[in-house]
């Protein structure tokens, strides 16, 4: 009887200890998970007004999801191509007084200023569908970023095709589908050449117009993004950079209908999922 009692007591203590250990582990895991959700992503955009469009609402989008924040540094110049960004690197080397970004910085200054999670690059939209326009300038830019910001992941911002009624497309005798297909190919070639990920803003724009004729994404010039386009691109960037579904975004720009915002978040989510499937 004594032996049985001792065995029962030992077994009970062992089970209790195991339960306590598991409970502690569960709560420790929950605490760790909660802490992991509180994070800030830092990005540097090397682009032009299309990067500005994509970042218009990006901070508000991000901060509407609990625990997440973003810091955006910009090296954007209106109408700036990969060729021009590459040439500015050389100009800064030759002339110490040349500070092309905000009249204060060279690209090297900005790259060394902080440790970025992502650095984005893109081609100017008017050349985006011409793969021959990307090199050797993309290589110069990518190698420079890798040299001066080695921890940062370089992401390609896939810009969007113009509205179907764009005067530019009419001038070029080009259909919107032709521009879209050309830029998708150009950016894909670049991504595969350097092993880089893509921010599929252009694909999201195309998907949105295919699913709804009532959602306009462009300003009056028919190539820059309007409120809807800026929001859509921002949702794409958020989803790709944080790995969090755009469906969790709560922010809606003032003046945008809730159903429009919901549609655009869904489009961004679908495009990100489609991109993952292709990978």
Q: What DSSP string runs through 64-122?
A: TSTTEEEEEEEEE-TT--HHHHHHHHHHHHH-TT---BTTTB-HHHHHHHS--SEEEE-
Q: What is the pLDDT of residue 277?
A: 60
Residue 26 scores a pLDDT above 60: no
Residue 121's closest CA among 106, 139, 97? 139
Residue 23 pLDDT class (50, 70, 90 cuts): very low
Share of the chain above pLDDT 70, in %: 86
Q: What is the pLDDT of residue 72?
A: 98
When pLDDT is averaged across residues 133-148 and rounded to a whole number, the result is: 98
Q: What is the pLDDT of residue 276?
A: 76
Residue 21 pLDDT class (50, 70, 90 cuts): very low
H helix intervals, 173-256: 176-194, 201-211, 227-242
> Between 218 and 16, where is the model more confident?
218
Residue 195 scores a pLDDT above 70: yes
When pLDDT is averaged across residues 257-272 and rounded to a whole number, the result is: 98
When pLDDT is averaged across residues 8-21 and rounded to a whole number, the result is: 44
Q: What is the pLDDT of residue 275?
A: 81
When pLDDT is averaged across residues 7-21 and rounded to a whole number, the result is: 44
> Between 215 and 31, where is the model more confident?
215
When pLDDT is averaged across residues 197-206 and rounded to a whole number, the result is: 98
**Is the peptide bond prior to 136 cis by the omega test (within 30 degrees of 0)?**
yes
Residue 36 scores a pLDDT above 90: no
CB under 8 Å to 100, separation ≥6 — which residues? 77, 88, 91, 92, 106
Kindly report, residue by residue over 213-232, the tens digit of the pLDDT: 899 999 999 999 999 999 99
Rounded (5°) CA angle 61-240-72 = 55
Cα–Cα dist 125/246, whole Å:
25
Residue 279 pLDDT class (50, 70, 90 cuts): low
């Amino acid at each position: 009887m004594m032996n049985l009692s001792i065995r029962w007591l030992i077994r009970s203590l062992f089970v209790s200890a195991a339960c306590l250990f598991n409970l502690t582990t569960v709560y420790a895991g929950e605490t760790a998970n909660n802490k992991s959700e509180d994070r800030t992503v830092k990005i540097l955009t090397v682009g032009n007004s299309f990067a500005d469009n994509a970042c218009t609402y990006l901070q508000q989008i991000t901060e509407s999801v609990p625990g997440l924040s973003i810091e955006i540094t910009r090296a954007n110049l209106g109408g700036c191509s990969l060729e021009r960004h590459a040439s500015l690197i050389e100009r800064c080397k030759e002339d110490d007084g040349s500070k092309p970004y905000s009249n204060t910085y060279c690209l090297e200054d900005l790259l060394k200023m902080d440790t970025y999670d992502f650095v984005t690059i893109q081609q100017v939209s008017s050349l985006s569908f011409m793969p021959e326009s990307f090199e050797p300038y993309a290589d110069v830019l990518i190698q420079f970023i890798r040299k001066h910001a080695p921890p940062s992941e370089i992401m390609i911002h896939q810009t969007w095709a113009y509205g179907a009624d764009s005067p530019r497309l009419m001038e070029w005798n080009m259909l919107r589908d032709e521009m879209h297909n050309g830029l998708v190919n150009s950016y894909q070639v670049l991504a595969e050449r350097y092993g880089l990920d893509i921010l599929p803003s252009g694909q999201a724009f195309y998907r949105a117009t295919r699913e709804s004729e009532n959602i306009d994404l462009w300003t009056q010039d028919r190539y820059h993004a309007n409120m809807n386009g800026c929001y859509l691109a921002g949702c794409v960037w958020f989803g790709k950079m944080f790995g969090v579904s755009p469906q969790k975004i709560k922010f809606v720009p003032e003046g945008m209908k809730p159903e429009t915002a919901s549609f655009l978040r869904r489009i961004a989510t679908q495009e990100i999922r489609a991109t993952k499937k292709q990978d």
